[in-house]
Amino acid sequence: MQPTRWIFTAAMICATGSLSAAQLEASLDVSGIDSAGIDHSVKPGDDFFRYANGDWLKTAQIPADRSSTGTFLKVFEQAEKDTAALIRNAGADHSAAGSSARKIADYYSAWMDTAAIEKHGLAPLKRELAQIDAIASRRDLARVLGSRLRADVDPINATNFYTENLFGLFVAQGLEDPSRNTAYLLKGGLGMPSRDYYLSNDPHMTAFRAKYQTYVTALLKQAGIVDAEASAATILDLETKIAKAQSSLIDSQDVHKANNLWHASDFAQKAPGLDWAVYFKAAGLDGQPQIDAWQPAAITGLSALTASEPLQAWKELLIFHTLDHNAGLLPQAYADLSFDFHGRTLQGTPAQQPRWKRAVGATNTDLGDAVGQLYVKHYFPASSKVAVQQLVRNLIAAFNDRIDTLSWMTPATRQKAKAKLVTLRVGVGYPETWRDYGSLDIRADDALGNHLRAERFEYAHQLAKLGQPVDRGEWWMTPQTVNAVNLPLQNALNFPAAILQPPFFDPKADAAANYGAIGAIIGHEISHSFDNTGAEFDARGKLENWWTPADLDHFKAAGQQLVKQFDQYQALPGLHVNGEQTLGENIADVSGLTIAYLAYHKSLGDKPAPVIDGLTGDQRFFLAFGQAWRSKIRDDALRQRLNTDVHAPADFRAQTVRNLDAWYPAFEVKPGEKLYLDPQERVKIW
């Protein structure tokens, strides 16, 4: 995750626009392509993913403690190793009590202290379990449910992160009022990854349900619950009803269906069942004049269940979710049961991760910015940030040029697109303002208590944003995260430091490889501001479609063409990619790759690209893209992603190249080959 080297060469290539022959030759001493991983027995035009990665696939082994492997895992593991060293050494200088370094050291130490965890048993959950046990009325149920509301992720890019809570909270600027933050209420309540695991008749899903009930029974027995089998059946029945009440992932992505500002008093009328006044008071939302019901039908359905289903069923569900959510920090018997279902059964992962890896991941989650400050200090110098910012500017410039050349776009839409591009806020490496963990109580002998307090701390942080001016520079990822994100409501992008390293970005590689890998990723995130969701938000992040009707029709037609293209991909026998569910990400892949290609050629300054390791510049560019999506995944994990993820599987994302005209001559792709598309069938949006 951490670019450990100074990013000079790639920055020079990206920034100058043209190089002397001597500079070009000196800077391009390696291709940046894994030539050994290419399978030359596969025609690029038949399967570009396997052409680019086939020989790697033949020998690649998924680690026993992982559900998949590939380029992203390679980068993640380096970041994991680096952050582990920082975390372990955080307290080496005997940092003062209350300092960020001491909190990091104590948090990690507590996580690793298995003897103390075994000794504590269920004691850290005593308060939570006592609250559940004391529920004697629907009013009590509303109070407990409200007290457990927690901060959720961006609803536009993910769904019900806190699945064990009946609802989740997201706080960001209003859809129609960019000047103020709004509370968004999201669906939740499930212990399995999505509603399909409860409702689908697919034999695999049916088998998962049976194994889930076995797991629920075993976890309750471990906690000493009497008649655990009957409780497990009750819990599965209630969760199935919750799943039926929930909206689909595709519906959850429709931002117009999410634009539902309800007054606090409206909830009792529009979603009867739950005592909303009690719920909102317990959740700390009683002072909010309006709350956005992101999935109104689901909220109405879930609220009705709190009145129609037996109180005892809710108590049993809450007990199980409390145990399940915290199993990793309970005695080993609980952690093993949890992994056996969530890891081995649902993901197909044979072995649990070593404890130190889980401890590092937890520390990165609960003290993310504190660890992030150490991370960028050691692995991302200011000069690296400047270099990547220049690369981003080159991609934005290419996007701007592309807008000028789109023959189908009307002047009115073009003007709005340019205005949005100009105001796009790009965060590179790390945020301008760091989180302060001074008030978060971390103890060296209380692992589960630390996590529970960190969850409440994060929730309080989100609540504190309500009624305050919108922070346009707010980050939604930590610097040590291997990922990137577009934030439509902020018209902003985050590119964490950890993803800005080889093989995504390599200062020793030539421009083609850097543009094909990190350039396409950056282009992908830029284009999200102009995809099927981004097109709904103007330059201020306000929900307002800025397309003329004719342009919108063209855009939607191109999108449907891409839907059909991805619907044809079969990921597992009888199980296809959902082109509608993955549309936004697929649009961004096509657009990002297009812009990265244009930016790469612009960087050459009208000079021909050199041939390196027998590969032309275009070949290196497309191969870098194909190898960036290098991946091998277990079937059960793939099945889960197809049901819950808005991204297509990696191997199909690599086939995006078939939509770019330049790919065809680069690899001599001919009609009749499996990926060949007639020119009019190639999707061109940006």
- Smallest Cα–Cα separation from 584: which of 638, 637, 527? 527
In a domain, 234, yes or no: yes
Q: Are strands 181-187 and 290-293 parallel, antiparallel or unpaired?
A: parallel
Q: What are the C-alpha distances in Å from 481 to residues 1, 145, 369?
A: 7, 31, 11
What confidence tens digit (pLDDT) does each residue in 303-348 have? Answer: 999 999 999 999 999 999 999 999 999 999 999 999 999 999 999 9
Task: Read off the pLDDT of residues 581-604 as tens digits, 9 standing for 90 and up.
Answer: 999 999 999 999 999 999 999 999
Three-state DSSP class for residue 413 = helix
98 band by pLDDT with thresholds 50, 70 and 90: confident
Same domain? For 669 and 618 the reply is yes
* Mean predicted lDDT score pLDDT of the chain: 90
547-565 residue pLDDT tens:
889 998 888 899 999 999 9
Q: Are residues 486 and 421 part of one domain? A: yes
Virtual torsion, Cα 106, 107, 108, 113, nearest 10 deg: 80
The whole-number pLDDT of residue 533 equals 81
Structural domain span for residue 638:
32-62+376-433+478-681
Is 84 contained in some domain?
A: no
* Rounded-to-10 torsion of CA 128, 132, 134, 136: 160
CA-to-CA distance for 47 and 91, rounded, in angstroms? 51
pLDDT in tens, 481-537: 999 988 888 899 999 999 998 889 887 778 999 999 999 999 999 999 887 788 889
Token pair for residue 598? 């244009």
Could you tell me the CATH number of the domain that includes residue 191? 1.10.1380.10
In a domain, 546, yes or no: yes
**515 and 618 housed in the same domain:** yes
CA distance 232 to 226: 11
Length of the chain (residues): 686
Same domain, 53 and 170: no
388 and 267 assigned to the same domain: no
Three-state DSSP at 182 gives strand
Exposed (0-12), middle (13-18) or buried (19+): which is 471, by Cβ within 10 Å?
A: middle
Q: Evaluate whether residue 370 is within a structural domain.
A: no
Quick check: 522 and 391 in contact, CB under 8 A? yes
Distances (CA, A) of 150 to 239, 436, 469: 19, 19, 22
Last residue of a domain, one of 281, 316, 351: 351
CB-based burial, 412-443: b 16+ in 10 Å, e otherwise = ebeebbeebbeebebbbbbbeebbebeebebe
**Whether residue 622 sits in one domain with residue 508:** yes
Same domain, residue pair 249 and 344: yes
Percent of the chain with pLDDT strictly greater than 90: 78
Helix (H, G, I), strand (E, B) or coil at 357: helix
pTM recorded for the entire structure: 0.89
Whether residue 473 is contained in a domain is answered as no
At 67, phi and psi to the nearest 5?
A: -95, -10
Quote the number of domains for the chain: 2
Q: Is residue 510 part of a domain?
A: yes
- Rg over alpha carbons for the chain, rounded to the nearest Å, is 25
Assess whether pLDDT exceeds 90 at residue 164. Answer: no
Last residue of a domain, which of 334, 351, 368?
Answer: 351
Give the tokens for residue 49.
Answer: 């993913």
Specify the CATH number for the domain of residue 389. Answer: 3.40.390.10
The structure tokens listed for 39 are 């399978």
pLDDT at 685: 85
Q: Is residue 446 part of a domain?
A: no
Share of the chain above pLDDT 70, in %: 94
Residue 335 sits in the same domain as residue 388: no
Q: Which residue has 């999707």 as its token pair?
A: 683
Please provide residue 469's backbone torsions phi and psi, each rounded to the nearest 5 degrees.
-60, 145
Per-residue confidence (pLDDT) for residue 154, from 0 to 100: 52
Which letter does DSSP use for residue 342 in this model?
A: I
**Do 252 and 398 fall within a single domain?**
no
Q: What is the three-class DSSP state of 186?
A: strand
Residues 324 and 405 in one domain: no
Same domain for 238 and 276, yes or no, is: yes
Residues 535 and 600 grouped into a single domain: yes
Bridge partners of residue 292, in order along the sequence: 184, 261
- Rounded CA-CA distance 397/191 in Å is 45
The per-residue b/e assignment along 548-578, b for 16 or more CB within 10 angstroms, e otherwise, is beebeebbeebbebbbebbeebebeeeeebb
**Binning pLDDT at 50, 70 and 90, where does residue 156 land?**
very low
Residue 412 backbone class (left: φ over 0; alpha: ψ -120 to 50; beta: rest)? alpha
Is the per-residue pLDDT at 95 higher than 80? no
pLDDT at 94: 65
7 inside domain: no
The CA dihedral of 517, 518, 519, 524, to the nearest 10 degrees, is 100
Beta bridge partners of 427: 494
Three-class secondary structure of residue 158 per DSSP: coil
- The DSSP symbol for 537 reads B
- Contact between 550 and 407 under an 8 Å Cβ cutoff? The reply is no
Q: Determine phi and psi for 63, rounding to 5 degrees.
A: -55, 145
